[in-house]
Amino acid sequence: MIKSVGNKNKRGKTAGRRAVSNFVKGLSEEQRMLVVLKSQLYGGSWAPMLNDLRNRLAGKPYIFKLANRIQDDIARIEEMSEFEKEHNIDLADYVDLP
């Protein structure tokens, strides 16, 4: 029975790695750029990046297209941040950084 638990853990780790690999492969160019920016400009943390974008979005006046892009980026960041938490990873470890 102990051996069975070990096999379950190995399967779980393999499934987790597969989920991460599939998620990273599915990242858009915009998402990859956000991962790079998080790593290089925001100390590897999504929170200050989200705060910065939300602060820029709240400022008036702003360009409508830019506002849409910021909202899209916020949604992308929230999705990637949640994925990182669920899998206890940092996407910057899986995306090629310049």
For the entire predicted model, the pTM comes to 0.65
pLDDT in tens, 11-21: 667 878 899 99
pLDDT for residue 3 is more than 60: no
Rounded to the nearest 5°, which phi and psi values hold at 26?
-90, 0
The mean of the pLDDT values for the chain is: 82
pLDDT in tens, 53-66: 888 888 865 555 65
Give CA–CA dist 93/87, Å, rounded. 13
Closest CA to 82 of 40, 36, 50, 39: 50
- Match 């638990």 to its residue by tokens: 5
pLDDT for residue 67 is more than 90: no
Residue 9: partners with Cβ closer than 8 Å, 6 or more residues away: none
Give CA–CA dist 13/19, Å, rounded. 10
pLDDT band at 78 (very low <50, low <70, confident <90, very high): very high
